[in-house]
Amino acid sequence: MSDMVGVLALQGDFAKHLESLKRLRVSAKPVRWPEELDRCRGLILPGGESTTFVNLLKKSGLYESIIAFAIDRAVMGTCAGLIALSTAIVNDRMKTLGLIDLEVERNAYGRQVDSFFDTVRIPMFKEKPDFEGVFIRAPRILSFGNDVEELGYHDSQVVMAKNRRVLVCTFHPELTRDTRIHQYFVESMVEHQ
């Protein structure tokens, strides 16, 4: 795997996503400005603080650039990245990118001290469907549109989903040594455009 994947590096845990891609031998780079998207075939929006995150996107000019990027290229978002990519937030009036038809709730499991690890079930990983879920001030997916496919579950709650171009997780796969979600994003979405 050698496609260039950009990782939005304005705020949050972008370095851990870059490490996950490096373990997969995927060519990756941090993205801070719109022109840096030009060489990327995929983009990851990491976790962080979603309000700050979206404000930085607007100040840097990346807000509109990411919307244009997603017309024909793949995007992945984790935690705050998922919030920024969704179409609606029930407990915030922030204007999101609207790239995946999800209604979400910010900080749905509580504050930082309520963060937890638990098993996420991802049925498409047939040989080993269990994945270690790291939930840090995690959002909750409340509803989703007809074009959104459920991919992963914590108990009965959907915690991983996708549409044609966008993959999202409410948890942080980059905080584990398990690279299967990043591998799925690259192989199934970035390389098959």
Instruction: Tell me the domains of the chain and their CATH numbers.
Output: 5-190 (3.40.50.880)
d(CA 27, CA 6): 9
Q: What is the pLDDT of residues 83-110, one digit of tens each?
A: 999 999 987 778 899 999 999 988 766 5
The set of residues, in sequence order, having a beta carbon less than 8 Å from that of 128 and lying 6+ positions away, is: none
* Nearest by Cα to 86 from 73, 101, 71, 72: 101
Residue 1 pLDDT grade (very low, low, confident, very high; cuts 50, 70, 90): very low
Has 174 been annotated as catalytic? yes
State the amino acid at position 55 in one-letter form.
Answer: N
In the set 40, 79, 105, 169, the catalytic residue is 79
In the set 17, 105, 169, 172, the catalytic residue is 172
pTM: 0.93
Cα torsion 123, 46, 76, 70 to 10°: value is: 160
In the set 40, 154, 169, 174, the catalytic residue is 174
Has 172 been annotated as catalytic? yes
